[in-house]
Structure 1
Amino acid sequence: QIVIATCRQEAKFGTITTHSEKYFYRWADPYPRTVDDLDHGESGPNDQQRLVAGMLDRDNLLDLIRTFTLFSTNDNGETVKIVGRYQQFRAVKLAVKRLLAGQSPRERSGIIWHTQGSGKSLTMMFMVREMYRQARLSNWKVVFVTDRTQLEGQLSETSQSIGFTVKVADSIKKLKDLLRSDSSDLVMAMIHKFREADLTETFPELNVSPHILVMTDEAHRSQYALLGANLDKGLPNAARIGYTGTPIDKTERVFGDYIDKYTMRQSIDDGVTLEIVYEGRTHNAEVTDQTGMDTSFADVFSDYNLQQRLEILGYGSRDAYLEADPTIAAKAKDMVAHYLTHVFPNGYKAQVVATSREAAVRYKKHIDSALAAALADLEQANPSKLDLARLRELTTDVIISGSHNDLPHLKVYSDQSRHEASIKSFKLAFGNEEEGVTGNLGILIVNNMLITGFDAPVEQVMYLDKVIVAHNLLQAIARVNRVGGESKDKGFVVDYVGVGHHLKKAIDAYDEREQKEVLDSISFPEEELRELRASHAAVMDLLKKHGLTDMTDHDAFFDLFYDEDLRFDYLLAFKQLTKCLNLVFPARQALDYMADYQALTEINVLAGKHLRDERLSMKGIPPKLRGITDVYLESKGIEIKIEPISILDEDFQKQVGKRGRTKTKAAEVEHAIRHHLDVELDDDPDLQASFAQALAKIFEEFRNNWNRIYLELEKLRTRIIHAGQEPTYGLHRKKQIPLFRMFAREIFREDKAATAPPFVFADAQMPYGPDKEDRISQLVDLTQKAFLAVERELKLTGFWESIPARNKLKADLQNILLAPEFKKLPGLVANRAQLISRIMEIAEKNNDIILYAA
């Protein structure tokens, strides 16, 4: 049902379809318990304690499985399993509690502030499911006010599972008819399909039932306020819950108090959304003429008065200036330069927000031209190793709304079918293809469309060349905060019109605490540079603390990393340095840190091969940095793609002999053996266990005596090599020997911890007794019969999912074990349950080998 990953005090959860670490999430709140209820030290409960107390609480876990689990389809068309996160679980529980306890419509109403990208649509789905599980709420009518077509599809799926039908109102008349009905149903008011004139029409009283809940998505939008006032009049006793991704203005809380808050900062800390880096490309002087801000272009030239600006520019208005061809050409060139150095190398995409539809179309012309010029330059010199083949395929497009009187050059970009194809292409990763649409669209240019309610995790940067204010501004910049792959650590907003002033103005309407929450989710380039300095210092201080000052003394690093705890601490510090450098590079300030970073990548690759630890490798290093580090490693003669040398290789001992210290040699042999056991002997658990026991015994007997440990490890390595050359008695080495070895261990062992078949260790003898040859012959016969029974059943489609089929195989195996011909083999009757269990275990583990190995 749920997948949980833990390490030390950390704990995160995902599902069977969660294939990236970035989509495993914390469970930070043990609701309905509080953090103070948990046993903890001075620093508070750790993530593991919170997850166990919250998610794994018996009642909570059952609720999660029953109500907060669903299946959906992602942007790549794949079916994914989703389990609600803690803020969704908590908000739904609190909202339902309010519906049940409130004595008046106001007491049953409230606001759920869950930041952009935290799953508000799913929260609404879970809310419906939870309501219909409550006897007192199961006959309620639920009305959704939204403009999200995606929500309509999700509601339809949810309604089918709970036995209700979604009724979509795409006009005010239809909405009124649905609201008058006393039926318990789900009504969706698709507000973007309503005419403005209809929204201002006063509603009569339509339904006085108190068993109605109105849920409004993005509750602060002005058009929603118009409809909301009418719904208040038409449904006087209904409860109202408003969902918002940004704080509600303290003067506009018509829904009542907050039911639940999940702020931008909490979302970032949980890894649900990303911090946004804001970079202003205009003057930053304080704007004093607030009343004239919206009619002049004070944001763009805040250090000139209005008369000076008009005289200098000669355009007459801010919009005319922002639409001017020379202005757009200059900005387009700057955008492309920023995109190709900061965003494109890691495989992410960009959105440009233009001041008008005309400006959007002009932007496409100049961005295409700037891309072509940049490509021509890169084909001459490409120091950052950008993917030029991908860049040649990269396309741009414009998505704008249409008008009846549009000129042809605008009309072509307002076609709905073209919009759908472009949005699909933009959401796909570069190199992906679905239903004939490729992911080549890299830069999307818009005016009013797609700046709110548009989710594209592949988008990392928004180039803002339009003045947007209030809630719309906070929603617009949140387009880049979606988690999207391993190399996307933050989103970027590059401001060409000075909306930073409007950002300050927008949050001034909030309470002081809410202002801090918004500001905490936005950082600035100088903060990124400070974080880079700090992360570099953290790595170097860690190494210096343990006496590592020479970056070329690789053996010293290998010896340090032998300690798992120190290796883990280093990996965390290096990961943070990589993240910070990725955000700043290729800015000139980042170059001061590149020499140390390249030396550390060299250490990582070599130590990863030495210790057989895949975490110490180039995996996880963003492509933007890989282009530089790969060239450096190649100059050092280090082959990244070559696997570490196997213990079976005749050159292994020569490779180990190059190490200067005995401990370093022993560590390399030890980790090579462990890797061999994990990878090469994974299909033979008994052979694997025997060698693992021998390895552990060496370290028990000769603790810290590295000379002796090294000699014993070499002997063990020799035994492992010889094990692959032992006789098979006519059995298939891969398919049948694992079963034969298991029978030998289970049947002919007196001391279960110390003995093994003769083909495991040449110097260990099994107590076969005087009729050894006869008993080995019986073992071979038993193995063949058991194997044939297993092979026959595994060929059946869906065998492992069928309980009757598995039970039949177990019965067949029992009949084989109890056959008279094997009565001389000791313990078959008494140990048959254990033997059958082991056969099933090996069969499941080696399913593909049994069926397909040559």
Structure 2
Amino acid sequence: MGNTSEDKIVEQPAINWLSDGEGYQYIHGKELTPEKGERETFADVILKERFLKAIRTLNPTIPDAALKEVYKRIISLSNISIEEANYNFHRLLINGIPIEYRDKEGNIKADIVKLIDFNNINNNSFLISNQFVVKEENKDGVRFDLILFINGLPIALFEFKNPANSSIKSAYKQIQNYKELAPQIFYYNEILVISNLLKTKIGSITANYERFSKWRGINDKYDYEEKTTPSLEVLIKGLFNRKRLLEYIQDFIVYEIDKKQIIKKIAMYHQFYDVRKAVNRTLKAINSKDKRIGTFWHTQGSGKSLSMLFYTRKIIKLPELNNPTILILTDRNDLDDQIYKTFIKTELGTYGKKAESIEDLRDKLNIKSGDIIFTTIQKFQLTKDEKGNNNKDNIFPKISDRNNIIVIADEAHRSQYKKLAQNIRGALPNAMFIGFTGTPIELEDKSTTNTFGDYAGIYTIKDATEDGAIVPIYYEARFSELHLSNEYLDLDFENITKELENSKEENIKRRFSAVETLITTPSRMEKIAKDIITHFNGKELNTKAMVVCISRNAAVEMYNYMKKIKDCPEIAVVMSGNKSHDPKKFWEHIRTKHELEELAERFKNPNDPLKIVIVVDMWLTGFDVPVVDRMYIDKPMKNHNLLQAVARVNRVYPNKAGGWIIDYIGITDDLKKSLDRYSGKVVKETMLPLNEALKLMKDKYDIARLYLNKIDYSNWKSLSNTELAKLIQMAYYKITEDDKKEKGILRNYLKLVSELTKVHALVSPHPEAMKIRDDLEFFQLVAKNLRNYTYTKNNEISDSLEDALIELVNRSIQAKDVINIFGLKDTKSISIFDPKFLKYLNNIKVKDVQVKVLEKLLNDQVKVLLKRNRIKRKSFQEKIEEAIRKYNNRLITVEQVMEQLMNIAEELKYSSDNAKKLGLTDEEEVFYDALIYLYSNSNLNDDEMEIIIEIVREITEKIKKNLSTDWFRYESSKARVRASIKRILRKYDIKHKILKQKNMDELTDIIFKQAIELYRDYPLTS
């Protein structure tokens, strides 16, 4: 990066905030090299001597030989995947390394070696280093912008970009490339940071870009002035405060291991700060008469279950709680399973136990073992023996009076908790209580906070949407003539459908049956089934959908109607049942627990052909499927059940601009009434009318049209290939010319098309979206050609548009030809002399386009092949520019310019082949070209050529011996290299008179400039 604006604007402020503000030692990467003794080779990423010094301090009683064996163990992680190595290292970092050694008397001793002191930050060494080089033999190297070391271990990695012309997406992509070039540094990484100062995100080594998250807090959430504080400063002062960083590493990083896949999850800021608050409240509640810890509201999709896990992990280690028992309560078996699985996939799984019955729960609570017990609230009921004459008041028996039991209630707003709260209090009189919920508490609902306490943490829908933790939800009411009237919608269906099987109330059955009959009318269901398939097949993203039905019977009927439709994708019904009791038509849809788990895995897999599931109650809460972007609702729902159901579509997924709720029954009106029970803020944040998305699409479409005004593209799909190529070329030149007059036009156009593509994909196949589809495809064609053809230092232009165009549907064969013409992205692998390419070139009917394709290809190959050969690169570029200049000025014909460009290509190929024939390495070729350049008008005989080659080899060898990291920055280093070049040239001139009147200083200067270009990134390019 060197002395660039990126260095000044991003890297240096980061160093200052970390060193001056947070107390980190700072050493430039050039000081942490093998020459300086910090590492044995550039491939080493652990600072060996600093590491050994640190663990000697932390483990003073352990012999030095044993500690050196610890170092060997730490560095021997290379024969497994990055993810597995990272997981293994993290466990060693947190738990220490068990070792055995012999004491002075020869006795074998066992001990644990600590790598970090998490309790006393001053016992650790905190170091940051910029421009830190890692390079393996025979591989390109990497120069990392900033590495944070704790006790010599590379714990955090920062990748920076210039805010003036780069987005942090390119920083993320660069890190992914680094995994190939320097995988070993990721074995020890805990946190990845990408930033361009103004935008900053953190993520783990397994996270995709969408899972990288903002950090919005220093000592607490939102405790800074956003307008005046750069996001990178907030992150450093917040998370990278040394004390908070150690706490974060120890308690807020978790690994999920599922089917041999390792997923590393790190806490987002709202989880970190609010869990800490909840822990502090827990400490206060231990000796307080008030055992309520609080109500923890983090909106659905923002990682509530993970917050529960982080909270549990912290409190089980509190010495004040003396090995506590954690009781995690849900009100449904499927929720109990989901939370249990979340825990069991992590290291906390060793503590997890499920209570299988009322008796089993009581037995487990009586054991003072410090377990994590998972159960449903229904198990806090009296047994048959406890009911009757001897217990007229139905008093629940006391199970344990320990004060180190903590009850965690999931979805704490549910009425069941209020009903059975007294039983739990009676069973566990000294227990502490905390309630977690993903939906807001109703304004008039005081019982939830009365049961669990006031808010211990709040993270709203608005917060999560702004942070990109979830996507916004849009809704649309379709077929209003099929909606139910209010008299039916007022029924409490969430309870009716659950209690129907066991209900003795004929009135409930009768009222439900009447509604179900209305909903399952054949003509109505057939119409809705057709609309769902048409709507789903009209979308542009490769996403999935859920259909919600009122009953199992309705779900089966919907399945049957949908299967009759010609273009129906693969669908499935998800419901509970029992073949011994249920009708035969249900049987094919009744699955075992294992089969349901397999079906869930298939539905979660974006590449699996299962596209739509039809559900009744299952999978509507706690079921996380990011690939789902729309839900078709044909079931009366309201209040929390409705909010939980619609949240299935708010998960983040690549290119997903939002979720879409399609209402066939009339919940939209009921939703507005239901949400009146919450704050007005919640009403606005929960779901947005589809009209807002349509308006957004129209606004962006209108702006896009302005970029191409005066260009008639209305009938572009009916044009011939030649006419279409000319039309796209006109659009291309209009935008590039406008960009010359007003910088930023091109970039803004590409960004606009990216945004329009996403919002169009969201609302497709709405009629308004269909109206502009052809125009959008033309905008995309122009954008794609701009992106592929334009030379720019800014990779973000192509990055942002490339993501948005993943799902581009090109309906025109003619358009496809043009896309291919300009779509030569990876020209490194294309040979100009490949017969397939020449045939392709000849097939291009528009000669102008032929010239441009060949020009682009030649320039690209010159850049690739002659990347560090300054003299030859400049020579070839000048030849290409001269040919194109003559052609543009009409001094030569198309045929003549094509012939000249092909001749240049031949010359490029010959120059590369000639160097190989002379036995020169790539590095020697660079200096050979510099010398030959000066003799271009001279005829050298064979002996003189031999001398030139001899000079080149000696110069190459001598220069490399004088190199050190960042050598070109220091006058003394540059002078040493320059002197060595001049000394060799003078020696050969005296001996062979080879210079022939050439200026010694000029020749030295040319070779020296080549050396700087070739070895600027030493040792990366050595």
What is the TM-score normalised by the length of structure 2?
A: 0.59
Aligned residue among 433, 437, 455 for 1:244: 437
* Partner amino acid, structure 2, of 1:149: D
Checking the alignment, whether the CA contact within 8 Å between 2:707 and 2:735 is kept in structure 1 is no
| CA drift at 1:365 | 0.8
1:505 has 2:702 as partner: no
1:364 has 2:535 as partner: no
Q: Secondary structure of 2:320's match?
A: coil
Q: Secondary structure of 1:450's match?
A: coil
Checking the alignment, whether the CA contact within 8 Å between 1:296 and 1:318 is kept in structure 2 is no
Counterpart-to-counterpart distance in 2, 1:729 and 1:839:
27
* Larger deviation, residues 471-480 vs 251-260: 251-260
Match of 1:265 in 2: 462
Aligned residue among 490, 494, 519 for 2:658: 490
Q: Deviations over 1:424-472 (max 9, x none)?
A: 322222xx4xxxxxx2222211222222121222222222111122211
Q: Deviations over 1:30-51 (max 9, x none)?
A: 241564545x6xx354544433
Counterpart-to-counterpart distance in 1, 2:859 and 2:315:
53
Q: Secondary structure of 2:641's match?
A: helix
Match of 2:413 in 1: 220
* Partner amino acid, structure 2, of 1:347: N
Match of 1:355 in 2: 550
Structure 1 residues 691 and 730 mapped into 2: Cα distance closer, same or farther (>3 Å)?
Answer: closer
Aligned residue among 694, 699, 720 for 1:529: 694
Match of 2:23 in 1: none
Counterpart-to-counterpart distance in 1, 2:453 and 2:493:
37
| CA drift at 1:139 | 2.8
1:410 has 2:586 as partner: yes
Aligned residue among 194, 199, 203 for 2:396: 203
Structure 1 residues 596 and 776 mapped into 2: Cα distance closer, same or farther (>3 Å)?
Answer: same
Between the aligned residues of both structures, percent identity stands at 25
Instruction: List alignment gaps of at least 5 residues for structure 2.
Output: 1-188, 388-393, 495-510, 715-726, 890-900, 936-943, 961-986, 989-1013
1:175 has 2:364 as partner: no
| CA drift at 1:498 | 0.9
Checking the alignment, whether the CA contact within 8 Å between 2:574 and 2:618 is kept in structure 1 is no
| CA drift at 1:775 | 5.8
Checking the alignment, whether the CA contact within 8 Å between 1:143 and 1:215 is kept in structure 2 is yes
Match of 1:634 in 2: 816
Match of 2:298 in 1: 114
Aligned residue among 513, 526, 530 for 1:333: 530
Match of 2:277 in 1: 94
Structure 1 residues 536 and 196 mapped into 2: Cα distance closer, same or farther (>3 Å)?
Answer: farther
| CA drift at 1:783 | 13
Q: CA RMSD in A?
A: 5.0
Q: Secondary structure of 1:247's match?
A: coil
Match of 1:815 in 2: none
Match of 2:236 in 1: 52
Q: Deviations over 1:142-189 (max 9, x none)?
A: 22113332432342354559xx62232122222222223333332222
Structure 1 residues 519 and 780 mapped into 2: Cα distance closer, same or farther (>3 Å)?
Answer: closer
Counterpart-to-counterpart distance in 1, 2:654 and 2:695:
25
Trace 1:739-750 onto structure 2 (pairs within 5 A). 740-741=923-924
1:581 has 2:769 as partner: no
* Partner amino acid, structure 2, of 1:589: E
Counterpart-to-counterpart distance in 2, 1:637 and 1:403:
55
Q: Deviations over 1:509-538 (max 9, x none)?
A: 22x2xx423432312221121111222234
Aligned residue among 474, 477, 497 for 1:277: 474
| CA drift at 1:475 | 0.5
| CA drift at 1:476 | 0.9
| CA drift at 1:214 | 1.4
Aligned residue among 121, 124, 130 for 2:314: 130
Checking the alignment, whether the CA contact within 8 Å between 1:401 and 1:449 is kept in structure 2 is no
Counterpart-to-counterpart distance in 1, 2:277 and 2:370:
22
Q: Deviations over 1:573-593 (max 9, x none)?
A: 222111222223333323443
| CA drift at 1:474 | 0.7
Checking the alignment, whether the CA contact within 8 Å between 2:546 and 2:631 is kept in structure 1 is yes
Aligned residue among 507, 515, 518 for 1:321: 518
Count of matched residue positions in the alignment of Structure 1 and Structure 2: 700
Counterpart-to-counterpart distance in 2, 1:408 and 1:192:
31
Structure 1 residues 595 and 282 mapped into 2: Cα distance closer, same or farther (>3 Å)?
Answer: closer
Instruction: List alignment gaps of at least 5 residues for structure 1.
Output: 298-313, 376-390, 433-438, 682-686, 745-755, 785-823, 826-834, 844-854
Structure 1 residues 440 and 351 mapped into 2: Cα distance closer, same or farther (>3 Å)?
Answer: same
Aligned residue among 314, 321, 326 for 1:142: 326
Match of 1:420 in 2: 597
Match of 1:557 in 2: 735
Match of 1:611 in 2: 790
Trace 1:27-38 onto structure 2 (pairs within 5 A). 27=215, 29-33=216-220, 35=222, 37=224
Counterpart-to-counterpart distance in 2, 1:764 and 1:93:
70
| CA drift at 1:638 | 5.2
Q: Secondary structure of 2:490's match?
A: coil
Structure 1 residues 58 and 327 mapped into 2: Cα distance closer, same or farther (>3 Å)?
Answer: same
Counterpart-to-counterpart distance in 2, 1:108 and 1:136:
17
Aligned residue among 455, 465, 482 for 2:634: 465
Checking the alignment, whether the CA contact within 8 Å between 2:646 and 2:661 is kept in structure 1 is yes
| CA drift at 1:612 | 5.0
1:599 has 2:778 as partner: yes
Match of 2:68 in 1: none
Checking the alignment, whether the CA contact within 8 Å between 1:268 and 1:274 is kept in structure 2 is yes
Counterpart-to-counterpart distance in 1, 2:949 and 2:422:
92
Checking the alignment, whether the CA contact within 8 Å between 1:145 and 1:190 is kept in structure 2 is yes
Match of 1:789 in 2: none
Counterpart-to-counterpart distance in 2, 1:202 and 1:525:
52
Counterpart-to-counterpart distance in 1, 2:363 and 2:493:
46
Checking the alignment, whether the CA contact within 8 Å between 1:555 and 1:659 is kept in structure 2 is no
Counterpart-to-counterpart distance in 2, 1:34 and 1:405:
53
| CA drift at 1:89 | 1.0
Structure 1 residues 720 and 210 mapped into 2: Cα distance closer, same or farther (>3 Å)?
Answer: farther
Match of 2:428 in 1: 235
Counterpart-to-counterpart distance in 2, 1:70 and 1:363:
41
Match of 2:1003 in 1: none
* Partner amino acid, structure 1, of 2:555: A
| CA drift at 1:340 | 1.4
Trace 1:746-825 onto structure 2 (pairs within 5 A). 757-759=927-929, 762-763=932-933, 774=950
Match of 2:49 in 1: none
* Partner amino acid, structure 2, of 1:530: K
| CA drift at 1:341 | 1.4
Match of 1:812 in 2: none
Match of 2:199 in 1: 10
| CA drift at 1:482 | 1.6
1:440 has 2:619 as partner: no
Q: Secondary structure of 2:913's match?
A: coil
Checking the alignment, whether the CA contact within 8 Å between 1:719 and 1:762 is kept in structure 2 is no
Counterpart-to-counterpart distance in 2, 1:634 and 1:14:
37
Counterpart-to-counterpart distance in 2, 1:275 and 1:759:
59
Structure 1 residues 694 and 761 mapped into 2: Cα distance closer, same or farther (>3 Å)?
Answer: farther
Counterpart-to-counterpart distance in 1, 2:203 and 2:931:
42
Structure 1 residues 774 and 634 mapped into 2: Cα distance closer, same or farther (>3 Å)?
Answer: closer
Match of 1:848 in 2: none
Aligned residue among 156, 161, 167 for 2:344: 156
* Partner amino acid, structure 1, of 2:210: K
Structure 1 residues 159 and 638 mapped into 2: Cα distance closer, same or farther (>3 Å)?
Answer: closer
